[in-house]
Chain A
Amino acid sequence: MDWQALALSLKLSFCTMVVLVVLGMPLAAWLAFSKRRWKPIVEAIVALPLVLPPTVLGFYVLMALGPSSPLGACCERIFGHRLPFTFSGLLIASVLYSLPFAVQPFSAAFASVDPRILEASACSGAGPLKTFFRLILPLSWAGVLTGLVLSFAHTLGEFGVVLMVGGNIPGATRTVSIAIYDQVQSMDYGAAARTSALLLGVSFTVLVLTYSLRKVRLFP
């Protein structure tokens, strides 16, 4: 069992989830409530990772973060090192790859809040932030939880993007799915089976917990 890879995968999943809370929630709120004509374009961009092969996404992220691109050069100046084949680069790729798994459930949950309640909040003098934190977020907790768990579980099992952007550096970018791939390549089927079973168990448990919690109605 490659415990180092498992720890790295858990760290990556947790960090991805945290970044998606910070970036995904405002984006989801905008998608849920905006009436802009170009909203479908943003929705399509968010959903792209669902249909794009991970290698294609990984390739573009690799190119974008590489030293020859303006973005990559800028990131290098900020972080002091190149992002491809580092944990930071891997995190950026994971956030992009898991974006729809968080943003879509968040957005659907926010949109399902009764608009009359939002109007009542505005008429009570509350601004958008107060309305979001006091009403929208508590009333859409099930969708938010689903988004968080899906993005966590999805990052835990990702392979293609990780391989393209992170490579296979033990302790830095070697995640558990890469470790399984390595174990199979070196014909260590026993270790691969144990790691796979652990990943399967963790993913299954997380999903069962999520779906059980979603049935609990806090605010009927």
Chain B
Amino acid sequence: MSRSLDCDFECRFKQGPVIRAAFALPTEEASVTVLFGPSGCGKTTVLRCLAGLEKPDTGFIRFGEESWCEAATQVHQPPQRRTLGFVFQDYALFPNLSVAGNLAYPLVGISKDERHRRVSAMIALLKLEGLEHRRPVELSGGQQQRVALGRALIHRPRLLLMDEPLSALDRPSQESLRRELRGILREMGIPALLVTHDRNEALMLGDRLLLMQDGGIQQDGLPAEVFTRPRTPELAQALGIGTVVRVRILSRENGLVRVAAGSVELLAPDPGGLGEYAHACIRGEGVAVEREVHGDPTTRNRLRAKIVGMEPQGALVRLHLDCGFSLEALVTAWACEDLNLREGETVMAMVKATAIHLIPVW
């Protein structure tokens, strides 16, 4: 019988939201499950309940045959009995202990030589050589994150819980550590549950994604699938899909469906099960912009559009377009400059049919 983490519980806060979670995680394989959702939706509460740092008001948490929490019978195993690793958002390193001291802290019941061997191996794995005797305050954010990860992994926990582990880092450090984190988790072979609201983090690290919104898990699937095929328009917005527009179904042909969005027509893949109306979700990355405004705008999802707003976002610029309905496009700052795009100007927006996801309206 395969061992899994099964939970179905509720946490109620006085004059606050109710957080619900019901899912099962297989823990025999070293997969990474991402708990994704906007800030404040209850992701951290779910993680804290699994760790034993919060007590659910109703429901249960079971790990294989072990009962970690049964609210009905007041069973609540403390974190010490759950044998898990927890990486906190702010790392929570022990300020009075060195890097080696922090890493060795969870190791008990083993010989001094074995402890030394495991700490040295972890230092090598996390590329912390030469920092063994430093205190946390003497480390950079990235180094602190590695120590926190090492401390959570060194006692070989049965499950690793990570609460937005990269959010306190600057973007370049986030990107390099994200790549390394995936490799480290694979090498250690420990199943992990990662909380994040960062799409790139979820896509890069996750094998499975639980989408959380309004205090509950709303969708469960492969990360790329959940991000491209949200189940409801609200989830599409929670996933950061810039354009969600109500459309009317005009015709179906060869696996494609022609829809009317405002005053224009679009071609999109037919997901099946469509009625008369649907919601079209269009990712900004799937919309290209060019200067040429001539030609037939009705072919291949070419739409004449007016730029009504420009929002710089690092290396990218989010363009707000009016093309008969509100459309968002995400283009590089370089392309924006090259095309000399300005607010109020008319451009041609090209929407990839595959970037359109239709959600039936019931």
Chain B min CB distance to A120 (Å): 4
Chain A min CB distance to B66 (Å): 15
Contact with B along A107-144 (1 / 0, CB 8 A): 00000001011011111111100000011001100000
Contact B80 A122 (CB under 8 A): yes
B189 within 8 Å of A (CB atoms): no
Residues of B within 8 A of A220 (CB): 95, 137
Contact A116 B88 (CB under 8 A): yes
Contact B78 A121 (CB under 8 A): no
Contact A116 B92 (CB under 8 A): yes
Interface size class of B (residues with CB under 8 A): 20 to 34
A218 within 8 Å of B (CB atoms): yes
Contact A120 B92 (CB under 8 A): yes
Contact A138 B88 (CB under 8 A): no
Residues of A within 8 A of B325 (CB): none
Contact A123 B96 (CB under 8 A): no
Residues of A in contact (CB 8 Å), total 19
Residues of B within 8 A of A79 (CB): none
Interface of B is mostly: loop
Q: Which residues from 177 to 201 on chain B have a C-beta closer than 8 Å to any C-beta of chain A?
A: none
Whether A139 contacts B96 in the complex (CB less than 8 A), given A116-B88, A219-B135, comes out as: yes
**Minimal Cβ-Cβ distance residue in B for A117:** B92
B68 within 8 Å of A (CB atoms): no
Whether A121 contacts B53 in the complex (CB less than 8 A), given A116-B88, A219-B135, comes out as: no
Residues of A within 8 A of B137 (CB): 219-220
Q: What CA separation (Å) do A145 and B93 show in the bound complex?
A: 24
Whether A218 contacts B96 in the complex (CB less than 8 A), given A122-B53, A123-B51, comes out as: yes
Residues of A within 8 A of B79 (CB): 119, 122-123, 125
Residues of A within 8 A of B92 (CB): 114, 116-117, 119-120
Among B86, B94, B108, the residue within 8 A (CB) of A123 is: B86
Q: What CA separation (Å) do A139 and B95 show in the bound complex?
A: 8
Q: What CA separation (Å) do A155 and B78 show in the bound complex?
A: 41
**Minimal Cβ-Cβ distance residue in A for B101:** A134
* B80, B90, B108, most chain A CB atoms within 10 A: B80
Whether A219 contacts B53 in the complex (CB less than 8 A), given A123-B86, A125-B155, A126-B105, comes out as: no
Whether A127 contacts B96 in the complex (CB less than 8 A), given A121-B105, A122-B53, comes out as: no
B166 within 8 Å of A (CB atoms): no
Q: Which residues from 133 to 178 on chain A have a C-beta closer than 8 Å to any C-beta of chain B?
A: 134-135, 138-139
Whether A125 contacts B86 in the complex (CB less than 8 A), given A114-B92, A119-B92, A135-B94, comes out as: no
Contact with A along B41-68 (1 / 0, CB 8 A): 0000000000111000000000000000
Q: What CA separation (Å) do A139 and B96 show in the bound complex?
A: 7
Residues of B within 8 A of A139 (CB): 95-96
Contact A117 B106 (CB under 8 A): no
Q: Which residues from 61 to 117 on chain B have a C-beta closer than 8 Å to any C-beta of chain A?
A: 78-80, 83-86, 88, 90, 92-97, 105-106, 108
A interface residues, Cβ below 8 angstroms from B: 114, 116-117, 119-127, 134-135, 138-139, 218-220
B interface residues, Cβ below 8 angstroms from A: 51-53, 78-80, 83-86, 88, 90, 92-97, 105-106, 108, 135, 137, 151-152, 155
- Given A121-B94, A219-B95, 16 additional A-B pairs, CB 8 A: A116-B90, A117-B94, A119-B86, A119-B92, A120-B151, A122-B52, A122-B80, A123-B85, A124-B152, A125-B83, A125-B106, A125-B108, A126-B105, A134-B94, A135-B96, A138-B96
